[in-house]
Structure 1
Amino acid sequence: MNSSSSDMDIDPEVPKSPSSPVCSTNDNLSSYDIGLFVQRSSADGINLIPGLQKKIWTPPDGYSFPASGPRNLKFQRSWLLTYSWLAYSEREDGAFCKCCVLFCARAGGVGRQTLGQLVTNPLRNWKKALDTFEKHNASEYHKRSLLQWSLRLEIEDENALSIDLQLSKQKLDFINESKLRMIPIIETIILCGRIRNCLGTLESIHTFFIYPKRQNALQDAINEDETLRESRLKKLKKFCKTRWVEQHESVATYLHLQPAVIRALDVISTTWKDPTTSSGAFQLLSAIKTANFQISMHILSSVHSLTLSLSRVLQSENQDLGEAIELADAAKQVLLERRENAEKDFRGIFKTVSEISAKYDIELRKPRLASKQTQRSNVQTDSVQDYFRITIYIPYIDLFLTHIQDRFLNHRKILSNFACLFPNKMKNFNEESCAQLFEPYSSILRDDSRDIWVDEVKLWRQRIAGKNVKNSLEALDVCNGDAFPNVHQMLRILAVLPVTTATNERSFSTLRRLKTYLRSTMSEDRLNELASLNIHRDVEVDPQRVLEKFFSTPRRVNLLYNN
């Protein structure tokens, strides 16, 4: 049974008045009067407005039911309490069975005769009302409608599955599996939100002190601190969103200058008369003096310091993918050790944060938690240290490990076949692995024969046997392209396999400096030559050879050139 509405709005359109007379002229007629749904087709019973069953209009206390007939009989409120399926229509001045109106077909009973009172027509004969109610309550079509009514209520209250899920176990299993897969995504988003909160505060602090007057206030606070007076760090660094080295330096610089930052913000918030600046300083100071910010910043500093050397190597030039994966593997092992000894390592971080909190009157406490979590389980601990270790420290290390695995270590399969070119990495030659390396690159090699390729690799391995060749760049220096053309081409492919986007970013930066709006119409040859001059600055250019090149082509230039 589908609990969602099809093409209906929240407020149903009032159907045309039926043939029976309308007894009420009330302008404030409820849009959920049961009489408005009598003219619905039987197929509409499964496409009801969500929550309609609980919205059916009920006469309020003190409502005066209109009298009719010579005896002035009228609808009795006690009937609504006796028969839960009964509803009164102010529009029709009559009684209906709300279950049958919404769910019953317009035919039923013996011989499938057309249904009348309480279903398609209102009951207004109050003298025989009780007998009619009892007879209707015992009918089979009413019992079926009552069952559908209760099933729909259970589905809307989430106490029962919808009919399509009850009939299709495969669909139900798919939904349950999707929910299980979404839980780690939700937990990751929550973790990133917590870490991102402190990074957003860090960016706001850097932006706040960009202005010269505020920067002078920070310099005064640094000079007043004896431990920071002789420090070479005088300014906060902007947090870079892409480079891990700059991220670590930004966090480390802030933690080093945090005493001066707190003092400067305190002075600005209490002594400066500008309301915008003083209120901004007070807000930043309030954000800094929270346990979540302090712990998150120290966790970032601790974890990023482990991968600092890896980040610097990855951003260097002429980086080999094989060496990058080895460094990433080493960083992963260190992080795994941190993960296994999380309780011991986080104890040191929490001790540092506790000392800072005691100095600046920062309360270390757990955030408020919901009494009943529906999407994930609460952390069952009363310790503040254990809470932050479980909710921030361990998940952040796990997230970092996942990133290293996805970005670097998944390339092992690509490099495993290239190992056949290096005897020190694959001591026993594997012909199958060598053939697998040949298949994807056969179209760009000089010889498209698999046997020629395997034999050439065997000769190449004998050529460099005993030499300490570690990577593709060193191998290219000793590889003769004429003697080993296919191996030489394969080594070039390995050398240009991208490690990170740093190389591409350098190219983009170079082109941004060259192709300005003044040079937007330059030819491709000129752009390539200017880029080569800009990138390869270590190559000395002989002006004499440039002049010879210039005069090698006839020109309409009245210049004399003598060799």
Structure 2
Amino acid sequence: MSGKHRGVQARVRQIIPEAIYVHCKAHNLNLAIVHACKEPLVRNIMDTIQQISFCFNESGKRTVFFRDELAENDEVKEDMGRRAKIQTLCDTRWASRCDALYTFLTAYPVVVSSLKKLERNGDSKARSFICCISKFDFLIALVVVEHILQIIHPLSIMLQAKTFDLIEAVQEAKVVNNKRNDDVEWEELFDKATSLAAKVDEIPTIPRGAARQQHRANVPAATPKEYWKRALYYPFLDHILQELEDRLAGNEARFQPQYSIPTKLDGLTDDISRHDLTAVSFDVFHIEVTRWKSRWAIVTNQKPGTLVETLKSTNQMLYPNVYVCLAILATMPVATATAERSFSVMRRVKTYLRSTMTTDRLSSLALMHAYKHTEIDVQQVINVFADRKSRRLAFLFRQ
């Protein structure tokens, strides 16, 4: 779709050079997290947690050990809620990994005690897992990554909704920027990692450094708190912020006409994007926008609150340029999450028991499943089916 030379967006721009390709914002957020998680320490803890979750979930013996340890630890059991096992990390939806990281972080004492019992029972993998998750670099990375992903997760849910405010989503993405200068929050995270390390008799340390180092962080620091802040917290947070700025907030100016909606006119300024209306001078456009704001200022009853309602209420002859801006904005798909849900519907409908289903039947069942909340007149369906063709025997008896 987004190929530079032969993609759909490239072919469209060959016909209309002014067209702007807008990538799915939900996918952009996911890609931002994927790229930020390529930091070595973050990548290592992700791989370790995934291996441990597979180790417990794919073995009945290990699962029994984990559940027995969880049943004996009332505090961890209460914090985990209904969760009764370690969750695996999703390969596609990286924003949802915060739930799996939270589960692992909450159940950390239970995981350690379960692995120790498995080691005493001759499990060959348990010892290596204990050594990996007992180090302080693993614990501090786990606490930091889980905390930051928890901040971004609500934004991911918002971008996958059927209706959402993109301007509000962009502003929410900028909230993460305030976390970088919050020293109190970093101290809380470090204290949390320190208390977690104390449960396995581990103390905060600085990795061995060298005068010339190429393959690991070798930042100058006097204390472990200062070192991990410079070597882990700042790099990961800066990577997230840069990715969010490049991928999510990059086309913010293209969506400024959203402030033309009557209920959002307070945010309408002279800097509103005109979407390359080269045939219109700025003075003419400014006068039209001023009239548009005055037109809705005198309205006292309920005003349009969505883009579709505003388009229907706009007189194209009186406000041609505002109408064009709103129409162009309406053609910009900001997310493909709703469209991609049809793939999930087809996967649920066409199972191996329905492998011989024809295309028409599959399409009809998929529509019924996707729009299952739509009310259907059963009697009308029966009448249409009965009258579709003439039969020797009366299919439907009417009085």
In structure 2, the gaps of 5 or more residues are 1-34
Q: Secondary structure at the match of 2:348?
A: helix
Question: Which of 288, 293, 296 is the equivalent residue of 2:133?
Answer: 288
Aligned-residue offset at 1:189: 8.2
Question: Which of 242, 261, 272 is the equivalent residue of 1:402?
Answer: 242
Q: Secondary structure at the match of 2:226?
A: helix
Cα pair distance change 1:423/1:328, threshold 3 Å: closer
Partners of 1:553 and 1:485 lie apart in 2 by: 49
Query: Aligned residues, how many?
Result: 351
Alignment of 1:361-400 (within 5 A): 361-373=201-213, 378-400=218-240
TM-score normalised by structure 2 residue count: 0.74
Cα pair distance change 1:456/1:531, threshold 3 Å: farther
Aligned-residue offset at 1:262: 0.6
Aligned-residue offset at 1:311: 2.4
Q: Is 1:507 matched up with 2:352? A: no
The residue number in structure 1 matching 2:100 is 250
TM-score normalised by structure 1 residue count: 0.54
Q: Is 1:193 matched up with 2:29? A: no
Alignment of 1:208-227 (within 5 A): 208-210=55-57, 211-227=59-75
Cα pair distance change 1:535/1:484, threshold 3 Å: farther
The residue number in structure 2 matching 1:28 is none
Contact 2:70–2:76 under 8 Å retained in 1: yes
- The one-letter amino acid of 1:407's match is R
Identity %: 25
Partners of 2:324 and 2:386 lie apart in 1 by: 36
Question: Which of 187, 190, 198 is the equivalent residue of 1:358?
Answer: 198
Aligned-residue offset at 1:546: 0.9
Contact 1:290–1:364 under 8 Å retained in 2: no
Partners of 2:138 and 2:350 lie apart in 1 by: 43
Partners of 2:96 and 2:261 lie apart in 1 by: 36
The residue number in structure 2 matching 1:462 is 295
The residue number in structure 2 matching 1:522 is 358
Contact 2:386–2:395 under 8 Å retained in 1: no
- The one-letter amino acid of 1:288's match is I
- The one-letter amino acid of 2:62's match is R
Cα pair distance change 1:363/1:376, threshold 3 Å: closer
Aligned-residue offset at 1:390: 0.7
Contact 1:421–1:457 under 8 Å retained in 2: no
Question: Which of 115, 119, 122 is the equivalent residue of 1:269?
Answer: 119
Partners of 1:250 and 1:409 lie apart in 2 by: 27
Question: Which of 163, 187, 192 is the equivalent residue of 1:347?
Answer: 187
Aligned-residue offset at 1:411: 2.3
Alignment of 1:474-493 (within 5 A): 475=310, 479=313
Q: Secondary structure at the match of 2:150?
A: helix
Aligned-residue offset at 1:195: 0.3
Contact 1:244–1:308 under 8 Å retained in 2: no
Contact 1:421–1:461 under 8 Å retained in 2: no
Can you list the C-alpha shifts for 1:102-135, whole angstroms capped at 9, x where unaligned? Answer: xxxxxxxxxxxxxxxxxxxxxxxxxxxxxxxxxx
Q: Is 1:302 matched up with 2:147? A: yes
Higher relative contact order, structure no. (Cα contacts within 8 Å, ≥ 6 residues apart): 2
Q: Secondary structure at the match of 1:409?
A: coil
Q: Secondary structure at the match of 1:209?
A: helix
Question: Which of 414, 428, 431 is the equivalent residue of 2:254?
Answer: 414
Partners of 1:367 and 1:485 lie apart in 2 by: 65
Partners of 1:218 and 1:340 lie apart in 2 by: 39
Q: Secondary structure at the match of 2:171?
A: helix
Contact 2:109–2:199 under 8 Å retained in 1: no
Can you list the C-alpha shifts for 1:189-243, whole angstroms capped at 9, x where unaligned? Answer: 8952220110111111111111222111111111222313445232212222333
- The one-letter amino acid of 1:394's match is Y
In structure 1, the gaps of 5 or more residues are 1-187, 440-450
Partners of 2:397 and 2:324 lie apart in 1 by: 43
Q: Which structure is larger by alpha-carbon Rg, 1 or 2?
A: 1
Can you list the C-alpha shifts for 1:274-302, whole angstroms capped at 9, x where unaligned? Answer: xxxx1211111111001111011100122
Contact 1:456–1:484 under 8 Å retained in 2: no
Contact 2:119–2:127 under 8 Å retained in 1: yes
Q: Is 1:539 matched up with 2:374? A: yes
